[in-house]
Amino acid sequence: HYHLLGTDIEGCLPDFVRDLNALPPRALNALRGLSGTNFEKGYGLVRVLSGEKALEHAAYTLANPVAAGLVARAREWPGLSSVGMKYGKPVRVERPAVGLWSGKAGHAARRASQRSKRAAYACRTRLPEHAELVIERPPVLPKLTDAQVRAKVMRRLKARERAIAAERRRRGRTVLGARKASRVHYLSVPMREEMFVRNPTFSGVVHEARRAMAAAVTAFRRAYRAASRRFREGVRDVVFPAGTWLYRVRYQACCETAAPP
């Protein structure tokens, strides 16, 4: 699984996660000669209630390989991570030349394909040859610059790395290391997995904010169930609560307008 901290400005998170969970597995399956999904169905969504928690989640996400005992510092992790990126600074990403695209490129290079003009259709794809990836700062601390907010996240990351290292020393454990971690077979699974654990839907520091959000979630679910029941009974002008996605996108159902943050 992966950890991602983001802001859903246009209300398209389900579509975004669908594409994110679909294209990389297809590319990896083509590269490895496998089939099936790489990510479990569904995803855990936690709403962050405060700027303090947003910074905490940002550091937590970057420190995930460290907490897993794979590397001692987040920057040592060779996998996909934004630890070396800066807010607002684009990074150019090239379309892979392997997996889904390797066979097509080879087919296009064949002389027979070029003579028959099939080569022009061999590499058809809607994906651009390159794209720019930009990470944006969390919508917190408006008086600080992007660099200052990023520095706060990095300080929290280093503090978390030190805390994890201290706990590791206390238990007499060592990290696996990036080289050994990269050699772990991609089909291997953990020997033990936590089951029936709490699945939070929001995260906050202030107790009053958590209580208010818990009440809001309860009210949303109650209103959603009532509207869904009426919609299935044939009442097509029923109004769903703000935040409804499936009925709005699939059936063009009416929804309340969300209040400004």
Pairwise CA distance, residues 11 & 243, whole Å: 8
Q: How far apart are CA 44 and CA 54, in angstroms?
A: 16
**In sequence order, what are the beta bridge partners of 255?**
240
Distances in Å between the Cα of 183 and the Cα atoms of 70, 80, 186, 223 are 12, 16, 9, 50
Q: Which of 183, 151, 190, 154 is nearest to 68 (CA)?
A: 190
H or E segment and range at residue 121: helix 119-122
The predicted pLDDT at position 64 comes to 94
> What is the model's pTM?
0.79
pLDDT at 259: 63
Let me know: does 60 contact 159? Beta carbons within 8 Å.
Answer: no
pLDDT tens for each residue of 103-124: 555 555 666 666 666 655 556 6
Compute the distance between CA of residue 154 and CA of residue 62 in angstroms, rounded to an integer: 9
Q: Which residue from 58, 248, 11, 252 is spatially nearest to 157, judged by alpha carbons?
A: 58
pLDDT of residue 97: 78
The answer to whether residue 88 scores a pLDDT higher than 70 is yes
CA dihedral sign, ordered 21, 7, 65, 171: negative
Rg for the chain, CA atoms, rounded: 23
Backbone angles phi, psi at 181, to 5 degrees: -65, -35
Reading the block at residue 47, the tokens are: 């709403």
Distances (CA, A) of 248 to 6, 182, 234: 22, 43, 15
Length of the chain: 261
**pLDDT at position 230 over 70:** yes
Could you tell me the residue ranges of all domains in the chain? 1-41, 46-89+136-186+194-202, 90-133, 206-261
Identify the bridge partners of residue 133 per DSSP, sorted by sequence position.
91
Write out the two tokens for 170: 């206390």
Which tens digit of pLDDT belongs to each residue from 137-192?
988 899 999 999 999 999 999 999 999 999 999 999 999 999 999 898 888 877 77
